[in-house]
Structure 1
Amino acid sequence: MRISTPKAIALTVTCALGLAACGTSSGTSPGGPSGGSSAMPSSGVDVGKASAVTPVDSATLAKAKEQGSVLLYSNADEQQMKPVIDAFEAKYPAIDLRVLNMNDAQTFQRYATETATGVRTADVVMGSDAVGMLDFVGKGNIAEYTDPNVKNLPEYAQLAPGLVAMSEDPVVAVYNTALIPKDGQPKDIASLAGMSDSLKGRIGTTDIGNPTQFGALAGYIGRHGEAGWKNIERLGPNSGVESGTGNLMQKLAQGQYSASYFVSGTVRALIKGDAAKVLNYAYLTDGTPLIPRGVGITKKARSPEAAKVFVNFLLSVEGQEAACEGGFTPYRDGVDCAYGVPAIEQAVGAGNMILGGYPEGIVKDKPALDARWKKAFGR
């Protein structure tokens, strides 16, 4: 059966974003040609000079090779992680990187269950839920390890003792270009709120229970206060709410939504080729929140040295380049990436990036933020 062009493109986007039941061929990286690695575009901005290589010491590496594997619980999906896995195992063929993909809440619950019963659990955890990660650290689940690469990173990279950002993922707006042409697409939340009455029911976002939505809201309100709430409360009655980015992007590609906001920036690497014929993303010029994706070694790690080698790789220039291929957002100097922090700064200006680790008071403020968002969205 021949699929009509709009449906065919929507299906291509759906498959590319890892939605629905579409297979991913081995050897195909996100946005890259089939059977080969992705050729990442140059950011075309000054990314600074890479610092000297700061690997783990030889004794740690030797023990890591003896341990032979590292188990990661990650909130990033398989397509995002593939370039990182491939690059790590190519550099350290004696260490097998096993990755289980799950959301942050599942990670915390699984770790609690496994440690209580004494079975093998994660050596490393990766997550974007600021409140959940801080609670996880507060309960003593993260080893207080400082990687040699930390001295080469900005101060905001250290999120908590033993917990460091491997990526600073922005939130973006995404538009269906067939329904809203590029020259008519709002570039900030205030403008989108202003036209939301005319788009009632055709604007989408994710639920406040999604860590990306909560992180974006906390950052945006932290910057704009009551003026920001006025925009959010105008958008609320006019917005459809999805549980996750997958459903949101699928409905955008199929034309059920014309616009979306506070979308995880990891979709940027996937909006190309046929997908770019339908979708376009834009940074938010009245404040682009960048949400840290934290990574830490667990206290109950069975392969703690192998975990140190993996975290060291993630924070290196080489590791950040591999992360860029998956759509993560590298932030350390010397990483040429079209999705990196310098490229975002060029697009919106340094003053319009909401960047700096976890927002102050985010744990204390969460109940009030949740409640006011739910009221605005009628949840």
Structure 2
Amino acid sequence: MRTNPTRSAAVLALTVLAAGTALAGCSSSGSATTAGTGGTAAPASSAPSAPAAVADLVSKSHSEQGLMIYGNSPTAVIQPLLDAFTKAYPWIKPAYSQLSDNQVYSKYTSEHAQGARSADLLISDSIPQVLQGEQNGLFANVTPQGLSQFPSYTSQGDGVYVMSPDPVLVAWNSKLIPDAKAPTSYAALDKAVKTDPSHYPLVSYSPNNPLGYEAVYGLNHILGANTTNGYLNTFGPHTKTLDEGLDGMNYLVQGGASVGWLSSGLVQGVAPQYKGLIKYGYMTDATPLTPRLITQTSGAASPASAQLFLDFVYSNPGQQVMCAAGMEASMNGFKPATGCTADLTDLAKHVPASATYLVPVSQDVVNQQTTITNNWNKALGH
């Protein structure tokens, strides 16, 4: 259970619309927060164990029955990671259920309470759900191999890990917005919308989506709430909000909007299939990172298999697959083997460290939600 609401408020040294076929989807004022490139790790309520020996996990996993994972990540995005893991451990057959953030936890909690076979691993963007899960003892405080090769914020304490720190991107319909006029900052988009609103119908996540809310929380920390609220007031009257990434992508592709000003980092993996119709880029004045979180459940029926999967996520082979799929690779000094760009090393080439911020697993994220959501809904005219 976390007691310091501002811990792990990390600014990273690295680099709109929710995206993908099959994609599912604070300070009150002031200047940008700055910190070291690695951020700060969250202190756990109890000390984590040392990483389990791989040989021991392999031996135990042979007597386990499969691996169950509940997650909000689109199946099409995570499937390559599951396939690569099975190739490394052929006797482990992962079963993945794509669910909403709320369903990830409610389904596991209900099944576990009834003694039914349930998830060994949970993947979600919802920080409030993770905090509640900690309070309810849902997570095993295990330690993956390889964490020393990742930023310190990767461990958020109590067995909660940042699977991928996905950047919030901007996306646009290239038939409606020439690449040369695509916004590269929120300040530039603000000016463009005010100058020529008819050319800038917008789309974004709704305030009800965890990623959408966390993105605006991050903007508050980088730009200050006053500046962020000013942008919300500019964008709001011209924005169509959608809860699901697939709906948002389709809306952009069909010409309902020319620019998406809040986009999941997963767009990096799926945009190529649109043959150049959809382009994406980085907002150089503010790039929040929304954490895709992974935890091993305390009631895991296949704990050894689950730990092997965590080890794989935090290995170079796992990071290579994640990068290619659009999940942000975060290994220190990562070098992509396939030319993929969904990694923090590439992000650092485009966005200054002072303009990046990892949204932490913090009670403050919950505490600010009503205020931020009310401001956003007011800007939208709701």
Same fold? TM cut 0.5: yes
Match of 2:347 in 1: 344
- Tell me the distance in 2 between the aligned counterparts of 1:376 and 1:328: 31
Q: Could you tell me how far 1:359 is from its partner in structure 2? A: 6.0
- Tell me the distance in 1 between the aligned counterparts of 2:20 and 2:165: 22
1:129 lines up with 2:126 in the alignment: yes
Q: Could you tell me how far 1:148 is from its partner in structure 2? A: 2.6
Contact 1:74 1:102 in 2 (8 A): yes
Match of 2:208 in 1: 209
Match of 1:326 in 2: 325
- Tell me the distance in 2 between the aligned counterparts of 1:233 and 1:171: 19
- Tell me the distance in 2 between the aligned counterparts of 1:171 and 1:320: 19
- Tell me the distance in 2 between the aligned counterparts of 1:272 and 1:346: 21
- Tell me the distance in 2 between the aligned counterparts of 1:339 and 1:234: 30
Residues 147-296 of structure 1 correspond to what in structure 2 (within 5 A)? 147-197=144-194, 198-199=196-197, 202-225=201-224, 226-272=226-272, 275-296=274-295
- Tell me the distance in 1 between the aligned counterparts of 2:20 and 2:362: 32
Match of 2:40 in 1: none
Query: In structure 1, what residue type is equivalent to 2:197?
Result: L
When structure 1 is superposed on structure 2, of 361-370 and 258-267 the one drifting more is: 361-370
Structure 1 stretches of 4+ with a deviation exceeding 4 A read: none
Q: Describe the shift of the 1:211–1:285 C-alpha distance in structure 2 as closer, same or farther (beyond 3 A).
A: same
Contact 2:20 2:267 in 1 (8 A): no
- Tell me the distance in 1 between the aligned counterparts of 2:155 and 2:332: 16
- Tell me the distance in 1 between the aligned counterparts of 2:209 and 2:174: 26
When you count helix as a share of all residues, which structure comes out higher?
Answer: 1
1:363 lines up with 2:366 in the alignment: yes
Q: Could you tell me how far 1:195 is from its partner in structure 2? A: 2.2
* Deviation per residue, 1:205-249 (Å, 9 max, x gap): 111111110111010011222112111122111211112211111
* Deviation per residue, 1:5-41 (Å, 9 max, x gap): xxxxxxxxxx972379xxxxxxxxxxxxxxxxxxxxx
Q: Could you tell me how far 1:117 is from its partner in structure 2? A: 1.7
**2:99 paired residue among 98, 102, 113:** 102
- Tell me the distance in 1 between the aligned counterparts of 2:20 and 2:146: 33
Query: In structure 2, what residue type is equivalent to 1:115?
Result: H
SS at match of 2:301: coil
Match of 1:7 in 2: none
- Tell me the distance in 1 between the aligned counterparts of 2:79 and 2:165: 19
Match of 1:353 in 2: 356
SS at match of 2:146: helix
Q: Could you tell me how far 1:305 is from its partner in structure 2? A: 1.1
- Tell me the distance in 1 between the aligned counterparts of 2:56 and 2:64: 13
Q: Could you tell me how far 1:59 is from its partner in structure 2? A: 1.7
- What's the TM-score, normalizing by structure 2? 0.82
Contact 1:170 1:265 in 2 (8 A): yes
Q: Could you tell me how far 1:68 is from its partner in structure 2? A: 3.9
Contact 1:134 1:160 in 2 (8 A): no
Q: Percent identity?
A: 26
> Does 1 or 2 have the higher relative contact order (CA < 8 Å, sep 6+)?
2
Q: Could you tell me how far 1:199 is from its partner in structure 2? A: 3.2
Structure 1, unpaired ranges of 5+: 1-14, 21-53
